Structure 1
Amino acid sequence: MKVGTDGVLLGAWAAVRPQDRRMLDIGTGTGLIALMLAQRAPEAHVTGVDIDDVGQARENAASPWSGRVAFAQCPVQEFETPEPFDLIVSNPPFFVDSLTCPDRGRTAARHAVHLPFGDLRDAVLRLLAPGGRFAVILPTAEAERFLAVCAGRLALVRRTDVRTTPRRPAKRALMEFVRADRPAAPPADCSADRPAAPPADCSADRPADPPADCSAAVPEVSELVVGTGEHECYTPEYRALTRDFYLKF
């Protein structure tokens, strides 16, 4: 089973909440991220979908979590589900304008030919439950393209820029989104027609909004460095994030 750093990062970084029961991995490939989510969420059922053959993913799912993981070979644009998902993750093909590779398999895996960013956004909006989250990993340049595609539709709530070593610029961006159309009135609107009151008074007579609704416009931003710069030496932060998924670390 080929394990890529991008998949390990996303599978470990994506926020898994206690109430999340249905999860979807778009572009599941070998099924790595789907299995990581199943390991992290003992009560959840995880589905992996991929346009390519998912036979290897099914073989890899012969694990303690196999009863809660399923795979479907299908373009996500055509994927149907009876219930939406609480968490959607994706390590998608990301090259947009670069030359494609003669190898069709590598092209499908690395280039956004069969899954343009607009299609990925629309699939997430169609399959995500109200209050659900979407997490994705992309190279930094493509991350900015994806943010532009999602403007007004998906709101960024959390971002971690990933450096391979302390001296190198960030090469990957881990990003978490919620629906941009979720009701979240700014504090000023709440008190516009009555005397100013502390924020707690403003919401005393209505159900409390989840913290994510109030902070969607101000995403949480952080940075993660994977290696120290020495051969096969990893930072304590990377080890802490991913140690549960390595047999020997």
Structure 2
Amino acid sequence: MANTFFRFKQFNVDQAHCAMKVCTDACIQGAFTAQYLVNNQLTVPAILDIGAGTGLLSLMLAQQVDACITAVELDPGAAEQATKNFAASPWAHRLVLTHQDIRKMEVAIPYDFIITNPPFYESALKSGHAQKDQAMHATTLGYGELITAIDRHLHPAGTFSILLPFVQFETFRVLAEAAGFHLQEVLYIRQSVKHGYFRATGIFGREALETHETELAIYDEHNVYTSPFVALLQSYYLYL
């Protein structure tokens, strides 16, 4: 599911100028994550966005949180577009795009928070289109490697946000727990009230807390956006 325009205060990101589609799933993750940081009044001066794509998640967090955000993207086309989107935003002074492989990125400082929307499918069939496969499958960064990268770059007291398909999320959760990360908050996402869960976005940290679980349906039984969806996204969508 893709949307054309988003409202970042006075800054609109136009999908027509993006190298990759901006999807509803990622918008939900960005809004849910920003809400988590704001509601818990967390101080996160330095944020890392792993696999930034065209920069959507970094821009969403920058709108709500006063933090310096470093976005890492391997694909050159997406990295170029993210750089342009950052430069055109009101938060350009707090956004930095680095075009490199997170596995090779040196640990300069520990980040207080990490957000990532990684490739979705580790073992699914590939399309045969290299760029699409890299975006949708873990062809360059497996879940284990991602957890290792997060562990290297995250402050000991830091937390991270991730978005995955519902089934793969449980696989990731098991791997994360084995590495010492515990699921603290999770939002299970339905396409509509008639559907089962198809995505999950969660907050993980090294402290073992009771997991706070919530759910969100995008559409109601009449194929209209639900009130909780509107409430979560209305600060970002130009038309909602």
- Normalised to the residue count of structure 1, the TM-score between the two structures is 0.82
Higher relative contact order (CA 8 A, sep 6+): 2
**Alpha-carbon distance in 1 for matches of 2:89, 2:183:** 34
State the 1:81 CA deviation: 3.8
Aligned to 2:30: 11
Match of 1:34 among 58, 72, 80: 58
Match of 1:235 among 206, 226, 239: 226
Aligned to 1:25: 49
Q: Any conservation in 1 of the 2:186–2:200 contact (CA below 8 Å)?
A: yes
State the 1:19 CA deviation: 1.1
Match of 2:75 among 47, 52, 56: 52
- One-letter amino acid matched to 2:176: C
Ranges of 4+ aligned residues in structure 1 off by more than 3 Å: none
- One-letter amino acid matched to 1:237: P
Q: Any conservation in 1 of the 2:107–2:152 contact (CA below 8 Å)?
A: no
State the 1:130 CA deviation: 2.0
**Relative to 1, partners in 2 of residues 1:217 and 1:63: Cα closer, same or farther, differing over 3 Å?**
closer
Aligned to 1:223: 215
Q: Any conservation in 1 of the 2:54–2:82 contact (CA below 8 Å)?
A: yes
**Alpha-carbon distance in 2 for matches of 1:35, 1:217:** 29
Q: Name the SS for the 2:124 alignment partner.
A: coil
Q: Name the SS for the 2:59 alignment partner.
A: helix
**Alpha-carbon distance in 2 for matches of 1:40, 1:79:** 27
**Alpha-carbon distance in 1 for matches of 2:98, 2:200:** 27
State the 1:7 CA deviation: 1.3
1:66-101 deviations in whole A, cap 9, x for unaligned?
111011111111112421111101110011111111
Aligned to 1:146: 172
- Number of residue pairs matched by the alignment: 212
**Alpha-carbon distance in 2 for matches of 1:114, 1:76:** 10
State the 1:18 CA deviation: 4.0
5+ long unaligned stretches in structure 1: 180-212
Q: Name the SS for the 2:112 alignment partner.
A: strand
- Normalised to the residue count of structure 2, the TM-score between the two structures is 0.85
Within 5 Å, give how 1:53-92 maps onto structure 2.
Answer: 53=76, 54-61=79-86, 62-92=88-118
- The question of 1:113 aligning with 2:105 is answered no
Identity %: 33
Aligned to 1:131: 157
Within 5 Å, give how 1:201-220 maps onto structure 2.
Answer: 213=207, 216-220=208-212
Aligned to 1:188: none
Moved more, 76-85 or 31-40: 76-85
Q: Name the SS for the 1:173 alignment partner.
A: strand
Aligned to 1:97: 123
**Alpha-carbon distance in 2 for matches of 1:29, 1:230:** 33
**Alpha-carbon distance in 1 for matches of 2:174, 2:218:** 27
Report the structure number with the largest CA radius of gyration: 1
Q: Any conservation in 2 of the 1:6–1:91 contact (CA below 8 Å)?
A: no
Q: Name the SS for the 2:75 alignment partner.
A: coil
Aligned to 2:7: none
> How big is the alpha-carbon RMSD for the aligned residues of Structure 1 and Structure 2?
1.2
State the 1:217 CA deviation: 4.1
Aligned to 1:183: none
**Alpha-carbon distance in 1 for matches of 2:137, 2:234:** 30
- One-letter amino acid matched to 1:46: I
